[in-house]
Structure 1
Amino acid sequence: MSAPSTFDRSAFSVPGTGRGIVDVFAYRYLLRLLVRKGTLTRYHGSVLGWAWSYVKPGAQFLVYWVVMGVFLGLNHGIESYPIYLFSGVVVVNLFNEAFGNATKSIVNNKALVKKIYLPRELFPIADVFIAFVHFLPQLVILFAACLVVGWVPTVLQLGGAVVAIFIVLLGSTGLGLLFGAINVSYRDSQNLVELIRIFATWTSPVLYSFTMVRDSLPGWMYDLYMANPLTAAVELFHSAFWYPTTSQTMERPEDLGMFTVLALAITAVTMLVGQLVFRRLEGRFAQDL
């Protein structure tokens, strides 16, 4: 009886796996195609088309302003409240759209996932880029409104706004990878994500001032509140767009720089965990879909 032959498998890789996000850079042309397809088909067949990118956040802002600003009186308690409100709304909208779409990205592209191999991270990352493209019209509206009321920011404040966008994109990508992978097998994940998106608007100082939280909660709970990366991102946008339009006597969070560094660290860890879970589960995607 002959001895079993040995075969060198070192030059081969397990089918359906890759190097994770690193492979996305090697497939840049596919990423561009996915982003282009997503942006072009977003409002396909719609009468207003891309105008919805202005109408929807405008309607959202109007509802919040009437309820919180007029009915609850924050219009008088917070100087330049419309700018304060909208500069927070656009940040949360970016997070909610990027996170929500990335969670459903694998399921929505199941036809491609089941037929061919390509880095599956392409799908959630493409949806995050698409959300960023749809965020730009809202940013244009914010720029225009700030200029009308005499907005003169510093370079440091504008740099803070860029950091805020990076925090939101990094965090939503990490969460999108995490929940997008879990959502393939457990569709309840989408419902959990919807709850997180609802809470995102109310657990960050978008509709109200951070001072209301500071004055109502114990110190450790306030620190926990400020440790939320989305809170840091919103406050960075407030510093960049709202604060320069005020008399600059309005109170701003202490140690915002420290909380910004903490936000970057938390989102980096979220990205790492999301990638690890995604790679752990991606071998089952075709089977579970």
Structure 2
Amino acid sequence: MTTTDIDDGLVVQGTGGGLREVVDRRHLLAMLVRKELRVRYRASVLGLGWSYVKPAVQFAVYFVGLGLVLRQTAIGDYAVYLFGGLVVVTTFSEAVGNATRSVVANGELVRKIFLPRELFPVASGCVAAVHLVPQLVVLVVGTLVAGWRPDAVGLLALAAGLLLVGVLALGLGLLLSALDVLYRDVENVVDLVLTVLVWTSPVLYPWQLVADLLGADSWLFTAYQLNPLTVAVELVHRGTWATASPGNLARTAPDLAARTVFAFAVAALLVLVGQRVFRRMSGRFAQEL
């Protein structure tokens, strides 16, 4: 046996098969998700019920402040519009924020045993998906009360919007969690960005206001429209708010189908880049932690 034969059989310690190995070891993923949920709601009276309380309180604050006090009447069915956007932004923020800290937070496991490191940011995304379910229940009930009549295109748009959030959060989670191991400032920067995230997409306001401010033909407005998170918010609006009242559909953003294709392409590219950076850096995780 030659030296080359030996070298070909070696695997760099701390690296694995990437996301494919996460799928193969989904039983470990399920264990990590259960662990995170147990830790989060330990000694809690409401437990998972907080998944309903937190978004409901956030929704109430924005609805009273913007919808009643500031008289936001430019948007029909404003409560449905607002909550649909909040579902997207809060889920994305939770997934990305927790994924960024996931490897550092599980430093003991990283140092002591080998398992696919990608499990940690993916598990954070799965926990956010668990918390998404009660928000969707509240959203569907609210839209039905407002007069929502689901249509095939709308349901497809709703599913596409939620899937886009998941793919986008996965790509950023992989990238940022790896960088956070080496540079702990990353999580602070992410917190700052997530704080203002709700204002970077048409969640609290109609997209027409941005067009009036920046100019409908300006490159800044084009960049705003091509933002994948903006596309995700508009897809959820198309799936819920757009058919709550007859006049809402005419106020949806144009060219949504083409921008959806572009947004998924960007999100998929982020997953590839995030996975590549994560795998290249994962061999140093145990040393850095």
> Which residue, 158, 163, 178 being the options, matches 2:160?
163
Aligned length in residues: 284
Specify every segment of 5 or more residues in structure 1 that has no aligned partner in the other structure, as ranges. Answer: none
Report the Cα offset of residue 50 of structure 1.
Answer: 1.8
- Give TM-score, length-normalised by structure 2: 0.95
Q: Distance in 2 between matches of 1:208 and 1:226?
A: 14
Equivalence for 2:243: 244
Matched ranges for 1:240-279 at <5 A: 240-249=239-248, 250-279=250-279
CA contact (8 A) 2:14 2:284 kept: no
Query: In 2 relative to 1, CA 7–268 (structure 1 residues): closer, same or farther, beyond 3 Å?
Result: closer
Equivalence for 1:140: 137
Matched ranges for 1:33-44 at <5 A: 33-44=31-42
Equivalence for 2:105: 108
Letter in 1 for 2:276: L
Report the Cα offset of residue 44 of structure 1.
Answer: 1.3
Letter in 1 for 2:278: F
Letter in 2 for 1:119: P
1:5-38 residue CA offsets vs partner (Å, 9 max, x unmatched)? 8462222222221121111112111011111222
SS at match of 1:104: helix
1:209-258 residue CA offsets vs partner (Å, 9 max, x unmatched)? 00101111132111100111010000011111111111235411110111
CA contact (8 A) 1:227 1:263 kept: yes
SS at match of 2:86: helix
Tell whether 2:225 aligns with 1:215: no
Q: Distance in 2 between matches of 1:143 and 1:40?
A: 27
Specify every segment of 5 or more residues in structure 2 that has no aligned partner in the other structure, as ranges. Answer: none
Letter in 2 for 1:261: V
CA contact (8 A) 1:85 1:206 kept: yes
Matched ranges for 1:115-134 at <5 A: 115-134=112-131
1:60-106 residue CA offsets vs partner (Å, 9 max, x unmatched)? 011111222123221x2110000000010011011000000100000
Pairwise CA RMSD of aligned residues?
1.3
Tell whether 2:221 aligns with 1:227: no
Matched ranges for 1:41-60 at <5 A: 41-60=39-58
Matched ranges for 1:276-287 at <5 A: 276-287=276-287
Q: Distance in 2 between matches of 1:91 and 1:187?
A: 26
- State the identity %: 48
Letter in 2 for 1:196: V
Q: Distance in 1 between matches of 2:154 and 2:53?
A: 28
Tell whether 2:172 aligns with 1:175: yes
Report the Cα offset of residue 40 of structure 1.
Answer: 3.1
Letter in 1 for 2:22: V
Q: Distance in 2 between matches of 1:156 and 1:7?
A: 56
Letter in 2 for 1:121: E
Q: Distance in 1 between matches of 2:34 and 2:158?
A: 26
Q: Distance in 2 between matches of 1:217 and 1:102?
A: 33
Question: Which has the higher mean CA deviation after the structures are superposed, 115-124 or 27-36?
Answer: 27-36
Letter in 2 for 1:283: G
Q: Distance in 1 between matches of 2:287 and 2:189?
A: 23
